[in-house]
Amino acid sequence: NPGSSAELARTLVDAVSVDPATVVARVRATFETGRTRPLAWRLAQLNALRALLVEESDEFLAALNADLGKSATEAQRSEVGFVVNEIDHTVAHLEQWLRPRPAGVPAAFMPAEARVVRDPLGVVLIIAPWNYPLQLALAPLVGALAAGNTAVLKPSEMAPATSAAMARLIPRYLDREAVAVVEGAVAETTALLEQRFDHIFYTGNGAVGRIVMTAAAKHLTPVTLELGGKSPAVVEPGADLTVTAQRIARGRFQNAGQTCVAPDYVLAIGATAAALEAELVTAVRALYGENPATNSEYGRIVNERHHDRLTALLGDGRIVTGGTHDRASRYLAPTVLADVSPEAPVMQAEIFGPVLPIVGVPDLDAAIAFINERDKPLALYAFTESEETKQRLTEETSSGGLVFGLTVAHLAVPELPFGGVGESGMGRYHGEYSIDTFSHLKAVLDKPIA
């Protein structure tokens, strides 16, 4: 009952209890009552989260538009709708996922029974980034609650409207003694990280990932780090370059390039480098028209600092399309750069914006060597008709995910684990993998005494 005196009183209590130690103590006390363990509580929370997303979707779409210029179509698909799908998949399977799994027992122990039981961990800290500020806060929360934990959620201060909307609305729908939202930037996150958690789930960059893991080490807290990096798109001769260009462009330029699994650069084998240029120009035009600045489907750069960083990269190759920008509106046109040297600045770190370099390599061996000389990517994309190439890329490279013929889409397949390896992160989530991430897999052996 928003606006009632009881609601007002609770809001005042929340306002005075932003002290991180108090917040964590509160949700820990809730966990210790045991009320988050029954399946019924977990399903009720997931259904309440679903209701929040459906009933307040206008608020969230407006916030995402204010923060990132996200269109309603894109925000519905990749943020609100994404989390609703994750909830539906989880609700449909949770009872089965939580069933103890029987395990075989060696003859020497017989008679006896063995099983694996998924135990909730306790209090989970979720630290979210700004680029998909709703999805990357709430999809981990789905897993944490489904596994029977309580949670503290720290949204990104760089998406302030979405952060404020979650902080205001989540307590109205979810068990407010079990889920706390703490807004803030570095100071607030640092203070939170001093507390003891039972799991920390961090999405963002690797520099902060190291800070998170160091803080977690003090309490021996396990971490999941969902990080980023440069995800290549390998293109082999023989692939349909029209379709290839469309699928690369869509993945690269959605959310104005600010997608952790966006194809970061094209690794074009042989003659495909030159042939792809015209196809990418056509693909960008088909997506956003002659002037993307006036197309509401095209997003904006999150802030001026990132806008400046990105425009500094535009000289690193021959501009095939795009290159125009406007700092005041944080606009940067979808840009394709050709003839890019592997030594150019644009090839040194994750671009995280609407700039797509094409780097040429002579053959598949050179492409594989190029990938393996660098940090392990969060995603590897390949466009090829050759089963042998698919086999070689599967066996001879390491990446968080590997996708043939598409970009970005693997994270929307709920039965696939999502996560990185090496510099792109550790751990995984989505669907049943979230249950394993946010549970302890307890070994239970039961032998009759007599």
Q: Which residues bind ligand NAD (CB under 6 A)?
A: 127-131, 136, 154, 156-158, 185-186, 189-190, 203-205, 208, 211, 226-228, 260, 350, 352, 378, 420, 425
CB of 419 to ligand NAD, least distance (A): 7
CB of 115 to ligand NAD, least distance (A): 32
CA 248-78-85 angle, 5° bins:
125
Sequence-distant (6+) residues with CB within 8 A of 163 are 133, 155, 156, 157, 183
Cβ at position 66, least distance to ligand NAD in Å:
16
The residue annotated as part of the active site, out of 79, 86, 260, 432, is 260
CB of 56 to ligand NAD, least distance (A): 21
Q: Considering beta carbons, is residue 31 or 352 the nearer one to ligand NAD?
A: 352
C-beta of 154 vs 325, nearer to ligand NAD:
154
Distance CA 379, CA 358 (A): 17
- Of 174 and 227, the one with the shorter C-beta distance to ligand NAD is 227
Please, which residue, 161 or 319, has the CB nearer to ligand NAD? 161
Identify whether 260 is a catalytic site residue: yes
Residue 49: both structure tokens together: 């989260």
State in angstroms the smallest separation of the CB of 382 from ligand NAD. 20
Q: Report the nearest approach of ligand NAD to the CB of residue 49 (Å).
A: 19
* Nearest approach, Cβ of residue 290 and ligand NAD (Å): 30
| 226 labelled catalytic | yes
Which residue has 């103890």 as its token pair? 100
Q: Which residue out of 56, 74, 86, 226 is catalytically annotated?
A: 226
Query: Residue number with the shortest CB distance to ligand NAD?
Result: 228
Nearer to ligand NAD, 74 or 277 (CB): 74
Cβ closest to ligand NAD, residue 158 vs residue 267: 158
Cβ closest to ligand NAD, residue 148 vs residue 204: 204
Residues known to be catalytic:
226, 260
